Amino acid sequence: MATQRLVVIGGDAAGMAAASEARRQRPNLDIVALERGRWTSYSACGIPYLVAGEVHDLDQLVVRSPQVFRDQHHIDARVGQEAVAVDLDAGKVDVRDHNHRRNYRLGFDQVLFATGAMPRRPDLPGIDGAHVYGVQTLHDGVTLLDRARAGGVQTVVVVGGGYIGLEMAEAFSQRGCDVTVVEQGSEVMPALDPDMGALVSRSMRAIGIEVRCGEVVEAIEETDVITGSGAVPADLVVLGMGVRPNSALAQEAGVLTGDAEGIVVDVRQRTEAPHAWAAGDCCESFHLVSRRSVHVALGTVANKQGRVAGVNIGGGYATFPGVLGTAATRLCATEIARTGLTEAQASDAGLEAVTATVESTARAGYMPEPGSMVVKVVAERRSGRLLGAQIVGGEGAAKRIDVFATALTATMTVEDMVALDLSYHPAFGPVWDPVLIAARKAWAAVERGESTN
Amino acid sequence: MATQRLVVIGGDAAGMAAASEARRQRPNLDIVALERGRWTSYSACGIPYLVAGEVHDLDQLVVRSPQVFRDQHHIDARVGQEAVAVDLDAGKVDVRDHNHRRNYRLGFDQVLFATGAMPRRPDLPGIDGAHVYGVQTLHDGVTLLDRARAGGVQTVVVVGGGYIGLEMAEAFSQRGCDVTVVEQGSEVMPALDPDMGALVSRSMRAIGIEVRCGEVVEAIEETDVITGSGAVPADLVVLGMGVRPNSALAQEAGVLTGDAEGIVVDVRQRTEAPHAWAAGDCCESFHLVSRRSVHVALGTVANKQGRVAGVNIGGGYATFPGVLGTAATRLCATEIARTGLTEAQASDAGLEAVTATVESTARAGYMPEPGSMVVKVVAERRSGRLLGAQIVGGEGAAKRIDVFATALTATMTVEDMVALDLSYHPAFGPVWDPVLIAARKAWAAVERGESTN
């Protein structure tokens, strides 16, 4: 049998994880990875810290360079190479070589789409202005860093109060800019319920960031963002309204995409088309709680899906069971985390729920600086099955979400959770961990027969 | 029906949690709680921080005073009252009132044993010396604090390198004493495997504490501790060899105790004797992994068992499914945590295991001060079922044990764990959390068919 070739389209987390894993499984596989941009395998999550100046060197965000992939993994990683069309029947991909301004055609036996996501750009007057930036690729990060360093940026408007929007708001605030976040929802952080989002809005305001909720952007002008309430000065505009799957290339090749615009894959990351795989932000994922196909663009998921695709492409067996939408961030001293379904999402999925919200400490109350955190739990009415959790608090708060994520995966009830033998030490929490207090309160609500619906 | 009376013997975590919960369930129950010492419901885990001076006020360790129990919970909490004999058939307890030096007899319909544990005191010459202290009750804490404050304590020997021993070693070290820990095992922290314990020994030495492992104490003299290797100067000696259940009172009353000397209870915290309940450090617990009856003396377990006993005594329904032996501590900057079975315990329980140990960071590698941690995973051979985990590392390391504890409760395999949708943010960990990296490595060992046995 002739040597088989795998072409990976997209050289970031999902693509390169797949390439590396396929290499591990099959030493003789010919692997070519095509990356449109200048860098492979980087941490996009680090961009806000690069712009803020907390991370000093761009190269620190690059996990592995094309050179390392070539030398150590025997993977032909090519940057500046854009796949422009894929012919699945013929097993060919048309590539635009931006470095040498030429096109070429590459044959494959297997192809992996790892084309990522792109920032949502609403159809607004002025959205394509030169001072309007999305934050998705490392190239975006470099451009923003250059703009920040060049000076002349005093006022920044962030449109949309999601994770990346708020992280960029903090970054520019740390650089001394006057930052305004404009969020059309009732509170920032739409991944949380509004009662928890309100805690985040408050903490953003406490560090001097102007937060305008319930306000819609109508146009972007050269020095202002126009909202329903008037003009907000903006030397620079950051789009923080989330991302959508970059699935056009696959779709044009005849690969099935779903309701969330992402490529449809099975548990082994196979698309509906033969010899075609997909992983990462360009895919949809199965949500373990709502049991729907959703689009979750996160580095953790991209890495896991890439690994699973790579194992399977290499002839092994691995599955990706699904996502919970677990996510966390830190905004100055405030830690924020969520997993599973919010109250609103549970209702949307047809689930009747009870909720419990508790305020507790991050250390035993008698320790110096006990800290604080608010934990909200969403559980199914009657059964008490855990549906989701949200945490906003000080140091040590966010990582507690992982207990909820694990309990969700195991379909535990909040009653099951009360008995969990979690660790305790006065330096790490009160003797009843906030996670357990919240579960206990949620179980009490279940027992009382409550429902939010 | 006449008012029923519950007598609770022991006024710390388990006893008062039970009393409070029983009160909540049955407003008319007559509840008397007898506490031998001077304080109710305190955090014994805070004693090292009291002695170190990190916690300034003894009262901060008291969660609720007898007065609060009387006024707010309508619970007759009596301090200085020692139950000296229990007649289960007659429903009577003989009480020694240490405050007024008299005895009296109290009738009950239900009795709860919550008599706690006591430090192991090996049968050594000099063990009863006035300068030899166990650390179990708040009274012990106060006595040690008084000794530390009075001056004249320059050299301290801690016999036994478990949690409380090392915490007390650190406390006296912080007070400027020369501290030596003598541990007969090959490394400190016998709750960990020796390879992980070695990391703790190293971190103790790094803060100037002398750690002598594999050394047996032969006698305690007035100014020295005599070990197999000679004399170690000791103005004060702390016993850190663990505790055993304080179950004599129950045993004398005819209540069944088990192989670990603790009171035997069912899932509702009922003893084998009618109308008699038990909770906390005086009980044995079912270990969820080894499926054996074990003695685990921890505040978390005591609180949970007390709550379960209280619900059931009050006529409700609650169960305590068992323990994992999850525990954590912090020694200066080093965090230590464990759950489930160590490699040695797995072998002892007849389980063939594989292990994986990984070193990773507590934040993304590119962030300032990424920190470090070592995670060891023990999994069953072939099935890959998680059996236990141990963590030693810097800030943010210990609380990750809770993910393992939750996964153990759900009887997950390490392969299941690799797919866990845990949170990620550069400030809280690398994109593959150390927990997942360790699980992945353990799964690879399972796939290769390895075994430690």
Between CA A217 and CA A54 the distance in angstroms is: 30
Q: Which of A324, A365, A366 sits opposite B421 (nearest CB)?
A: A324
Mean of pLDDT values over B115-143: 93
Q: Return the DSSP state at B411.
A: T
The per-residue pLDDT for range A271-310, each reduced to its tens digit, is 999 999 999 999 999 999 999 999 999 999 999 999 999 9
Between CA A451 and CA A441 the distance in angstroms is: 14
Query: Kind of pairing, strands A217-220 and A224-227?
Result: antiparallel
A254 contacts A273 by C-beta, under 8 angstroms: yes
Q: Which of B49, B402, B409 sits opposite A423 (nearest CB)?
A: B402
Extract the tokens encoding B197. Answer: 């314990």
pLDDT for B151: 86
How far is residue B294 CA from its own chain's centroid? 13
Name the minimum distance, in Å, from the CA of A324 to any CA of chain B.
6
Name the minimum distance, in Å, from the CA of A424 to any CA of chain B.
6
How far is residue B263 CA from its own chain's centroid? 17
| B1 pLDDT higher than 70 | no
B37 contacts B137 by C-beta, under 8 angstroms: yes
Between CA B337 and CA B329 the distance in angstroms is: 6
**A423:B330 CB<8 A:** no
Residue of B nearest to A436 (CA): B304
Between CA B5 and CA B32 the distance in angstroms is: 8
A285 contacts A300 by C-beta, under 8 angstroms: no
The residue among B415, B404, B408, B412 whose CA lies nearest residue B376 is B404
The side-by-side arrangement of strands in the sheet containing A230-233 is A217-220, A224-227, A230-233
The per-residue pLDDT for range B255-301, each reduced to its tens digit, is 999 999 999 999 999 999 999 999 999 999 999 999 999 999 999 99
pLDDT for B44: 87
* Active site members of A: 45
**A407:B410 CB<8 A:** yes
The per-residue pLDDT for range A116-133, each reduced to its tens digit, is 999 999 999 999 999 999
Residue type, B414: V
Question: What ipTM does the predicted assembly reach?
Answer: 0.95
A112 contacts A279 by C-beta, under 8 angstroms: yes
A327 contacts B423 by C-beta, under 8 angstroms: yes
| pTM of the model as a whole | 0.96
| A402 pLDDT higher than 80 | yes
Compute the half-sphere exposure of residue A431: CA atoms within 13 Å on the CB side of its CA. 20
Mean of pLDDT values over A390-407: 97
CB atoms within 10 A of CB B138: 21
A267 contacts A244 by C-beta, under 8 angstroms: no
| B11 pLDDT higher than 60 | yes
Between CA B191 and CA A267 the distance in angstroms is: 39
Q: Which of A13, A405, A421 sits opposite B422 (nearest CB)?
A: A405
**A330:B300 CB<8 A:** no
| B312 pLDDT higher than 80 | yes
The per-residue pLDDT for range B392-414, each reduced to its tens digit, is 999 999 999 999 999 999 999 99
| Helix and strand totals (H; E) in chain A | 12, 25
The residue among B221, B209, B220, B234 whose CA lies nearest residue B155 is B234
Residue of B nearest to A304 (CA): B419
Looking up tokens 């000679």, which residue turns up? B230
Q: Which helix (H) or strand (E) holds A79?
A: strand A76-79
Q: Which helix (H) or strand (E) holds B104?
A: strand B102-107
Name the minimum distance, in Å, from the CA of A275 to any CA of chain B.
24
* Active site members of B: 45
Alpha carbon distances (Å) from A73 to A50, A282, A308, B122: 28, 25, 18, 58
CB atoms within 10 A of CB A1: 4
Give the pLDDT band of residue B57 (cuts 50, 70, 90): confident
The residue among A81, A63, A60 whose CA lies nearest residue A72 is A63
The per-residue pLDDT for range A320-335, each reduced to its tens digit, is 999 999 999 999 899 9
Between CA B421 and CA B404 the distance in angstroms is: 14
Residue A176 three-state SS:
coil
The residue among B166, B187, B193, B202 whose CA lies nearest residue B340 is B193
Residue of B nearest to A288 (CA): B421
Between CA A424 and CA B327 the distance in angstroms is: 6
Q: Return the DSSP state at A2.
A: P
Query: Kind of pairing, strands A210-213 and A178-183?
Result: parallel
A247 contacts A295 by C-beta, under 8 angstroms: no
B173-207 as b/e: b if 16+ CB within 10 A: bbbebbbbbbbbeebbbbbbbbbbbbbbbebbeee
Extract the tokens encoding A172. Answer: 């520019």
Name the minimum distance, in Å, from the CA of A181 to any CA of chain B.
21
The side-by-side arrangement of strands in the sheet containing B132-133 is B132-133, B236-239, B155-159, B178-183, B210-213
Between CA A110 and CA A9 the distance in angstroms is: 11
Between CA A190 and CA A390 the distance in angstroms is: 12
